[in-house]
């Protein structure tokens, strides 16, 4: 066990709003063991940025970790050559060229259909009715599981996300996660014969074409669903909320003084949808005076790193004009998010400009609560617009 200082936290408060606790940790114990999480947290940006790349010490290979146990060992839970081989295999699905030439037009088509359907209603829940649908439809085409509904995609994604964040060991949450993974296996079984005959650029298909084994294919599809649904969903809704509550910044974007991409990057810095990444200590090491022993569990706190007062000029403020370049919202090093290009296209090039363009007078119609410390986003977001 590491000799990091021990810091107790209130888990309920941490879930509701982790930022005050993380700010205290950065100031008083930037590397601290938190008993309630059973892990040592690294909270400063430069520490996270540097140590995430030391895969020989802070390994993603976690045989006993929740993601591996519940979803299979995907490429995110591998290091070195094994990780790179699978990353190379899936690249044809997520490359900038495929995003531009294949996915962008489909993103625009279904986003347009969704907004056309909703527009006469004059009101909706931005999270449930808009962001969840857009994210789910995008994930259907990217994964190749086109036969299911966006509701099913969101359901199985949330089941897995809850499962891999279930550090308290809630048996009901674990059961829902197992049900979700079983459904995904069934969806994959349904699509494999079709894609064997008519291959395409989807994740399921390119892995089949690359000759990955069945376990690799299934684990990586589950990985894509677990992160590829909730992250775009939460950023689409969250960024819409941030802009509606900061009208002067929305004006800068509408007037073209700041790009939609810059607004997206700043929001992902400010409220990182994936707030942490777990690591297993593979060999003894010392970092900033703290000793780590093999099999210690470490959490790299992206959400804290992105609000580091020593790096960002206005860390606790949503400001589309500030430099978000040092953000680690997509990770760093060999495990940089493979879906980053698709995410930027879906959100910054398609969803945000189309939502604000299609729904005149878009405004909040109620309170917007947020929740989560491992994954964070709005829980509901009632909106209205002019009809």
pLDDT digit string, tens, across residues 265-275: 999 999 999 89
pLDDT digit string, tens, across residues 10-63: 999 999 999 999 999 999 999 999 999 999 999 999 999 999 999 999 998 888
Dihedral in degrees, nearest 10, Cα atoms 353, 356, 357, 358: 120
pLDDT digit string, tens, across residues 53-89: 999 999 988 887 888 888 888 888 888 888 899 999 9
Q: Compute the chain's Rg from CA coordinates.
A: 20
CA distance 198 to 185: 20
Q: What are the domain boundaries of the chain?
A: 11-109+127-228+269-345
Asked whether the beta carbons of 336 and 330 are under 8 A apart, the reply is yes
The topology under which CATH files domain 11-109+127-228+269-345 is Cytochrome p450 (1.10.630)
pTM of the model: 0.93
In the block, which residue shows the tokens 């359907």? Answer: 117
**Number of Cβ atoms within 10 Å of the Cβ of 74:** 23
């Amino acid at each position: 066990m590491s000799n990091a200082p021990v810091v107790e936290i209130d888990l309920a408060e941490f879930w509701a709003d982790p930022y005050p606790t993380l700010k205290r940790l950065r100031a008083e114990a930037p590397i601290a063991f938190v008993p309630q999480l059973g892990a040592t947290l690294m909270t400063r940006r430069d520490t996270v940025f540097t140590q995430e790349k030391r895969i020989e010490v802070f390994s993603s290979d976690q045989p006993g970790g929740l993601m591996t146990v519940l979803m299979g060992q995907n490429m995110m839970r591998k290091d070195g050559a094994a990780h790179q081989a699978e990353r190379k295999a899936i690249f044809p699905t997520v490359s900038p060229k495929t995003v531009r030439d294949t996915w962008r037009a489909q993103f625009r088509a279904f986003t347009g259909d969704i907004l056309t359907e909703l527009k006469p209603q004059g009101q909706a829940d931005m999270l449930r009715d808009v962001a969840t649908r857009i994210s789910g439809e995008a994930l259907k085409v990217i994964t190749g599981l086109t036969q299911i509904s966006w509701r099913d995609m969101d359901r199985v994604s949330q089941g897995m996300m809850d499962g891999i964040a279930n550090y308290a060991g809630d048996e009901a949450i674990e059961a829902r996660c197992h049900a979700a993974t079983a459904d995904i296996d069934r969806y994959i079984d349904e699509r494999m014969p079709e894609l064997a005959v008519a291959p395409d650029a989807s994740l399921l298909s390119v892995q089949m074409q690359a000759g990955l084994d069945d376990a690799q294919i299934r684990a990586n599809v589950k990985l894509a669903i677990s992160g590829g649904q909730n992250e775009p969903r939460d950023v689409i809704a969250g960024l819409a909320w941030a802009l509606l509550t900061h009208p002067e910044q929305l004006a800068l974007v509408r007037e073209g003084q700041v790009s939609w991409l810059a607004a997206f990057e700043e929001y992902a810095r400010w409220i990182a949808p994936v707030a942490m990444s777990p690591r297993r200590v593979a060999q003894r090491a010392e970092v900033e005076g703290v000793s780590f022993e093999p099999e210690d569990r470490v959490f790299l706190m992206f959400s804290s790193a992105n609000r580091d007062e020593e790096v960002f000029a206005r860390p606790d403020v949503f400001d589309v004009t500030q430099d978000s370049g040092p953000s680690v919202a997509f990770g760093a090093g060999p495990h940089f998010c493979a879906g980053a290009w698709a995410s930027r296209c879906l959100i910054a090039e398609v969803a945000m400009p189309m939502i604000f363009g299609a729904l005149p007078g878009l405004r909040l119609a109620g309170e917007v609560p947020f929740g989560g410390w491992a994954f964070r986003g709005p829980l509901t977001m009632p909106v209205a617009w002019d009809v």
